[in-house]
């Protein structure tokens, strides 16, 4: 299964749980300003400013959200990878920082990996 197909499946499975919410961490850059002129081929902005969106922290996970455990929302970060793809050092560092801060950091190559990661982090009581 491709990474994007796995990501969609993980979002549906994890986000469908009553104790979890997840959002895709879409990264990008846009421009903001006052439209001076535009046509079908060109847009001119006055006072243009570059705006980054998404969690731009190096290694920021693909999916972000929370899992409620005993009435407390725990930050959730899921890095989705294909079967053969490896995480980068920055991705590992981000996930470890989430875990050290009391959150849940998971590398998921399948829906089963994601669910197992949720249960391993805070097993049901």
Give pLDDT tens digits for 36-56. Answer: 999 989 999 999 999 988 887
Q: Which helix (H) or strand (E) holds 108?
A: strand 104-108
CA pair distance 27, 42, nearest whole angstrom: 24
Q: What pLDDT is recorded for position 33? A: 95
pLDDT mean over 57-71 = 92
In the chain, the domains with their CATH numbers are 3-26+56-121 (3.40.1350.10)
Q: How far is CA 89 from the centre of its chain?
A: 17
pLDDT mean over 10-37 = 94
Question: Over 70: is that where the pLDDT of 124 sits?
Answer: no
- DSSP annotation string for 77-92: EEEE--SS----HHHH
Q: Which two tokens stand for residue 27?
A: 């990264």
Q: What pLDDT is recorded for position 64? A: 97
The confidence band for 125, taking pLDDT boundaries of 50, 70 and 90, is low
CA pair distance 92, 27, nearest whole angstrom: 18
The dihedral formed by the CA atoms of 57, 62, 67 and 98, expressed in degrees to the nearest 10: -30
């Amino acid at each position: 299964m491709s990474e994007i197909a796995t990501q969609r499946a993980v979002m549906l499975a994890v986000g469908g749980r009553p104790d979890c919410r997840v959002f895709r961490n879409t990264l990008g850059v846009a421009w903001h300003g006052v439209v001076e002129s535009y046509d079908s081929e060109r847009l001119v902005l006055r006072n243009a400013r570059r705006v980054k969106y998404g969690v731009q922290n190096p290694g920021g996970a693909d999916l972000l959200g929370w899992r409620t455990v005993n009435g407390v929302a725990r930050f959730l970060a899921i890095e989705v990878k294909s079967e053969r793809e490896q995480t980068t050092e920055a991705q590992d560092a981000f996930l470890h920082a989430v875990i050290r801060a009391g959150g849940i950091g998971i590398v998921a190559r399948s829906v089963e990996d994601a669910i197992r990661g949720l249960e391993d982090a805070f097993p049901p009581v």
